[in-house]
Amino acid sequence: MSLPNATHRKPNRPALAAALLAALAGLAPAAWGFDLTSGAPITISADTARLDDGKGVATYTGSVVVTQERTRLSAARVVLYREQGELTRIEADGQPARYQQPARDGNGETDARARRITYSAKDNVLTFEQEAVIEQDGNLFRGDIIHYDTAQRVVTAEGAPRNGEGPGRVEMVIQPRSSDGQKEGQ
């Protein structure tokens, strides 16, 4: 898609909106990592958007919010990558970037944050890097790098090396469960 030189005139907002919608039409909702089976539309709002159809890259900046149903990703900058019309990767950067997934299958809401969040559509894995924290049902996972499988709801974490020596540490707080499998106090 070729955009006219906008240095000498104001952009045509209806034309820009139409171009944005046409580019987003190529993002298949079924490929999104929040819920691959839902088919629900993805909504993106941001202060600015730059779309490069040739490279399959869409970059959004300024209070970016990406939603699908009640799942939400918010960040200062979000980049979507697609190949052959399918979403393959999402990168979100913020201070922090934040991911929220509603309660599902008896598990509570997931609230996660990190300076960088990357989503791989191929394996349904969210990777949280730098000051990463995931909270769910009162449980807490904290580390330098946390991988979260959105389909299986499995978390693995790595700590940051301390002073460049040896492996770092992760912190986990696991809430007790009663004999019937419910969280204590429920």
State the average pLDDT over residues 135-154. Answer: 86
Average pLDDT over the chain reads: 77
The pLDDT confidence band at residue 18, using thresholds 50, 70 and 90, is very low
Contacts of residue 140, Cβ cutoff 8 Å, sequence gap at least 6: 133, 134, 171, 172, 173
The pLDDT confidence band at residue 56, using thresholds 50, 70 and 90, is very high
Map out the domains of the chain with their CATH numbers. 13-173 (2.60.450.10)
The whole model's pTM is what? 0.72
Asked if 30 and 39 count as a contact pair (C-beta separation under 8 A), the reply is yes
Asked if 64 and 49 count as a contact pair (C-beta separation under 8 A), the reply is no
Range ranked top by mean pLDDT from 41-45, 127-131, 160-164: 127-131
In percent, how much of the chain has pLDDT > 70?
A: 73
Supply 15's token pair: 């034309």
